[in-house]
Amino acid sequence: MNIIFKTITVLLLLLFIIINIVKSSSPQTPTLFKNEEIIDNSNDVKVILIMTFKRMNDFSKCLDSIISANHSSEYHLVLTQSVSMNDYKDYNLLEEILNEKIKQNSNNKEKKLFKSITHIDTESSSKQPYGNAYFAFKNLVYGMKYTVGKLFPNLQSLIIFEEDVEISKDVFEFFESSKSIMKTDKSIKFATTAFFLHTTHPQYNWLLDKPIKRKSIRNENSLSLLIPNQLNKVTLNGEIEFKVLSWLIDRSIIDQLILDFNIIENWVIENNFEDKIENKPNTSKPELLINNCDCWNHDRYLELRFKGLKFIGSQSPRCNHIPVGGFGLSSVLDDYGFPVNQQYIKSDSFVMGTEFNGEKGIWGIVKEFLPKFECPSKINCYNNVTNQYCGTLKVSTCLNVWGPLQCVPCSGRQTSTLDPQCNLDFSSCCDKDNCSAHNPFFISMPSLH
Ligand SMILES: *[C@@H]1O[C@H](CO)[C@@H](O)[C@H](O)[C@H]1NC(C)=O
Ligand SMILES: *[C@@H]1O[C@H](CO)[C@@H](O)[C@H](O)[C@H]1NC(C)=O
Ligand SMILES: *[C@@H]1O[C@H](CO)[C@@H](O)[C@H](O)[C@H]1NC(C)=O
Ligand SMILES: *[C@@H]1O[C@H](CO)[C@@H](O)[C@H](O)[C@H]1NC(C)=O
């Protein structure tokens, strides 16, 4: 009896040990890219942080675009990934993607992809398929905290990408140029590769802006309206201007955000609020959020929390959402309308353009005057001797926000290139080639030029 009992005990013990060995040899969190110690404590170290979640197809393309951008190998890479409900599927997928890129690059003896790669997970209890604003905010701040707290203690500024962006080849030239401007102008604390002045609505509601945005200029020609080597200094004024798709943040703001988020997170924990986050005005929120944006979005929070501070904006967009497989705003058609600038500019060739000091955003102005405004699909022909209206050409027009506000041919062509068409279509009224083409909508008001 005693022997049987002992045998069973030993067998159970063995079983327990075996189970634990199997368990520990397939840990839930792979530690392949998990650096735990200081990697570089110099203050000119260059680091990229990517906020990731579940859009792994987009992430793969995003990484390709970063790798093919010039100078990317001078950077350390940190990936912060929100892991919801303990489901590590996408976390593991991300490491597979990383390993694949490293393998593809293994023939390149001179150049490693990045100086180092670190991948961390941040806990989320969001059951929504694409998470919520609080956990996205948390993922960002935890990523920053880990980056400066553990890996790069003397880091002076950090470049941050979302997982679903494509960037221009010269994006790091832009960031280098911005950094050197920030060294001498201490009022500038951020830089962004895309900015847009577009709404006065207190909550970020992209649905509200869609009708106008959809009609704004967005094609290859439209880029010619922008100036690739021009930077603008812009004051954060609480409108939606500052795109957090691909941006740079100063260390002092990182430290402040970490402190702020501590307060926000404590409130959430104390109030047992993780499952109750409601991203609407006048719902329960920590004081700090109510006083700034009455929302949980980190981008809105940044704009209002740091109102009055300045950022450098790239006038030509150097980033965009990956056009396929995205979610929500990820469709280029719903985006701010311009393709990524691919005219390569070196860091020492940028020049400062106009400075914007918190004027009302263009979309805000337009909407006040014309709430349902959309550019019509027409160009009008007038006899420019008699001023007679001769007829209309069917041409789709888009709002040019970079000149005096007017609807211009979406093709980006000058309106006057349609003069011959007017004269051809309305020859009798135009009286031997005296017609000129006119934009259907024009208002003269302060604009970006
Ligand atoms: C990429 O950077 C290197 C090193 O500064 C430079 O020599 C090269 O011209 C850059 N590429 C382009 C397309 O300008
Ligand atoms: C939220 O509350 C403020 C102050 O009570 C009020 O002015 C505002 O209209 C409310 N907003 C909404 C969307 O209910
Ligand atoms: C345009 O109008 C002027 C003045 O009426 C007229 O003399 C001329 O013949 C018209 N056509 C062209 C091609 O100038
Ligand atoms: C009238 O329009 C034609 C183009 O059709 C242009 O060549 C001409 O200069 C214009 N004349 C005036 C007086 O604006």
Which has the minimum average pLDDT: 6-20, 85-99, 342-356?
Answer: 6-20
Give the tens place of pLDDT for each residue, 11-68.
Answer: 665 555 555 544 444 444 555 799 999 999 999 999 999 999 999 999 999 999 999 9
- Check residue 13 and give its pLDDT: 57
Enumerate residues lining ligand 1, CB below 6 A.
Answer: 70-71, 344
Would 35 be classed as within a structural domain? no
Total domains present in the chain: 3
Q: Are residues 283 and 430 in the same domain?
A: no
Q: What secondary structure does DSSP assign to 380-436, as a single string? A: EEEETTT--EEEEE---EEEETTSSSEEEETT---GGGGHHHHHHHTHHHHTTT-EE
User: 107 CB contacts (<8 Å, ≥6 apart)?
Assistant: none
- Check residue 332 and give its pLDDT: 39
Q: Are residues 221 and 279 in the same domain?
A: yes
Q: Are residues 10 and 71 in the same domain?
A: no
Pocket flag, ligand 4, residue 434 (CB < 6 Å): yes
Q: Are residues 12 and 113 in the same domain?
A: no
Which has the minimum average pLDDT: 166-170, 371-375, 402-406?
Answer: 371-375
Q: Are residues 121 and 80 in the same domain?
A: yes
Q: Are residues 321 and 401 in the same domain?
A: no
- For residues 418 and 395, the answer to whether their CB atoms sit within 8 Å is yes
261's tokens: 């988020």
Which one of 320, 336, 365 terminates a domain?
Answer: 365
Would 431 be classed as within a structural domain? yes
Residue showing tokens 């939606």:
240
Would 53 be classed as within a structural domain? yes
407: pLDDT confidence band, cut at 50, 70 and 90?
A: confident
Q: Are residues 4 and 129 in the same domain?
A: no
Strand partners for 51: 80, 162
Whole-number Å distance between alpha carbons of 302 and 144: 14
Best-predicted range by mean pLDDT among 26-35, 159-168, 240-249, 372-381? 159-168
Would 296 be classed as within a structural domain? yes
Burial class (CB in 10 A: 0-12, 13-18, 19+), 221: middle
CA of 430 to the centre of ligand 3 (A): 9
Instruction: Read off the pLDDT of each residue in 263-289 and give the average, rounded to a whole number.
Output: 94
First to last CA, the chain: 95
Q: In the chain, what is the greatest distance between 2 CA atoms, to the nearest angstrom?
A: 118
Would 243 be classed as within a structural domain? yes
State the closest ligand 1 atom to the C-alpha of 346, by its place in the atom list counted from 1. 14
The whole-model pTM stands at 0.72
- DSSP annotation of 136: H
Residue 427 has pLDDT above 50, yes or no: yes
CA of 148 to the centre of ligand 4 (A): 63
The larger pLDDT score, comparing residue 22 to residue 73, is at 73
- Length reported for the chain: 449
Would 38 be classed as within a structural domain? no
Share of the chain above pLDDT 90, in %: 53
Q: Are residues 289 and 250 in the same domain?
A: yes
Which one of 365, 390, 408 terminates a domain?
Answer: 365
Distance of CA 130 to the CA centre of its chain: 16
CA of 378 to the centre of ligand 3 (A): 25
- Check residue 328 and give its pLDDT: 34
* Residue with CA nearest ligand 1 atom 13: 344
State the closest ligand 4 atom to the C-alpha of 384, by its place in the atom list counted from 1. 1
234's tokens: 């812009």
Q: Are residues 97 and 145 in the same domain?
A: yes
* Residue with CA nearest ligand 2 atom 2: 282
Residue showing tokens 């080597």:
229
Q: Which of 382, 431, 433, 435 to mutate to test the pocket of ligand 3 (most atoms within 8 A of CB)?
A: 431
Q: What secondary structure does DSSP assign to 52-66, as a single string? A: ESS-HHHHHHHHHHH
Q: What's the domain range around 140?
A: 47-365
Give the tens place of pLDDT for each residue, 215-262.
Answer: 444 444 455 556 789 898 988 887 656 788 899 999 999 999 999 999
- Which amino acid belongs to residue 370? L
* Residue with CA nearest ligand 1 atom 4: 71
Which has the minimum average pLDDT: 64-78, 135-149, 224-238?
Answer: 224-238
Q: Are residues 264 and 388 in the same domain?
A: no
User: 432 CB contacts (<8 Å, ≥6 apart)?
Assistant: none
Q: Are residues 7 and 66 in the same domain?
A: no
Whole-number Å distance between alpha carbons of 195 and 138: 23
Q: Are residues 184 and 281 in the same domain?
A: yes
Residue 8 has pLDDT above 50, yes or no: yes
- DSSP annotation of 191: E
Whole-number Å distance between alpha carbons of 363 and 199: 5
Pocket flag, ligand 2, residue 282 (CB < 6 Å): yes
* Residue with CA nearest ligand 2 atom 8: 282
Enumerate residues lining ligand 3, CB below 6 A.
Answer: 385, 431-434
321's tokens: 């959402």
CATH value at residue 303:
3.90.550.10
Residue showing tokens 């209309």:
392
State the closest ligand 4 atom to the C-alpha of 430, by its place in the atom list counted from 1. 5
